[in-house]
Amino acid sequence: MDYLPSDHVRLSEDGRAVVYLDQSKLPWKEEFKTVTSIRDMYEAILGLEVRGAPCIGVFAAYAMYVAALKYADKDYETFKESFHKDGEYLNSSRPTAVNLSWAIRRMEGLVEDNSSAGVGQIITMLKKEAEEIHSEDIGLCRRIGENGLTLINDGAALLTHCNAGALATTRYGTQLAPVYIGMERGMHFKLYVDETRPLLQGARLTAYELARAGVDTTLLCDNMAGELMKAGRIDAVIVGADRIAANGDTANKIGTSALSVLANYYHVPFYVFAPYSTIDMSTASGEDIVIEQRAAEELTEKYYVHRMAPEGIKVFNPAFDVTDHELISAIITDRGVLRKPYDKSLKEVF
């Protein structure tokens, strides 16, 4: 099975820059970029060159380490203040994806907990911590896949939305982890891939990586999913998550909520795959999740040769929606398969 280019988020060989695969160029071009400034790192996340909640978390950890190198000659208080300022700035790039703030808080916590150490020693610790976050992500995704396989049978037909595969993490993915691990064990699946308007993460990214891995893949427009469910051709809907509230409400790419309603109407299991770091127990429900509004040009111009809407037309373009916990059949994490009531089962994983 041919996976993606290895380590599509990593440190440069000299350890002083972050290297990443620019996902905005896929599938027509595989281009790696190298960044050293916090502004370029911010722009990489904002511009969806780096995307997928777990992948953003790994990127942010490396970014904070590289940012810290600029303050290696400062005293501890100046270092901590500058580090925190960079963290706040980077965190503002994508407010919905909790892994971003989670990784930044973890790196900041290390700085605060080691005030008695020298700045040089702290920087060495930050590098090790970022590498640990990366390694943890690979392990988390594998465990998510193994847990997911307890729900998905060999030969299953699965419907996906957006991209929560290897590109969205750093190896197996979350949503697609059971597919890849199942294939390693000789299992076969049929994948139906929503194109995922307006940024086409399904068409550009999920279809790209599944085809490259040799998976039987069929692409469809988002509004065709109901026809497949009605015809009984879907065994389960599998999606990722950018934030899971304490009651199980889940923020994911726009269009996910509509799929959950269709799946429940047609009695198709609706599964959410995410690492424990995506669970935000400080957010009570989906009503408290900040939904990012993105540029109008993503609907009217992006990926089109000619503009596809009248000049001056009003545009509504939320990046995410929230799926009600009652519509979710199970939440599959690295710490197990969680069932309703989610306010209890989510607490148990912590």
Where in the chain are all domains bearing CATH 1.20.120.420?
9-142
Q: Supply the CATH classification number for the domain 149-348.
A: 3.40.50.10470
Please give the model's pTM, rounded to 2 decimal places.
Answer: 0.87
Options 86, 137, 194, 242, the catalytic residue:
242
Where in the chain are all domains bearing CATH 3.40.50.10470?
149-348
**pLDDT (tens digit, 0 to 9) for every residue of the chain, 350 residues total?**
555 556 899 999 999 999 999 999 999 999 999 999 999 999 999 999 999 888 999 999 999 999 999 999 999 999 999 999 999 999 999 877 788 999 999 999 999 999 999 999 999 999 999 999 999 999 999 999 999 999 999 999 999 999 999 999 988 999 999 999 999 999 999 999 999 999 999 999 999 999 999 999 999 999 999 999 999 999 999 999 999 999 999 999 999 999 999 999 999 999 999 988 889 999 999 999 999 899 999 999 998 999 999 999 999 999 999 999 999 999 999 999 999 999 999 999 87
- Please state, in angstroms and rounded to a whole number, the distance separating the CA atoms of residues 323 and 21: 30
Angle 282-283-289 (CA atoms, 0-180°, nearest 5)?
145
Catalytic residue check, 242: yes
**Is 202:176 a contact under the CB 8 Å cutoff?**
no
Domain 9-142: CATH superfamily, name plus number: translation initiation factor eif-2b, domain 1 (1.20.120.420)
Pull the structure tokens for residue 41.
Answer: 């790192």
Pull the structure tokens for residue 279.
Answer: 């669970």
Tell me how far CA of residue 298 lies from CA of 22, 168, 286, 308, in angstroms: 18, 20, 25, 11
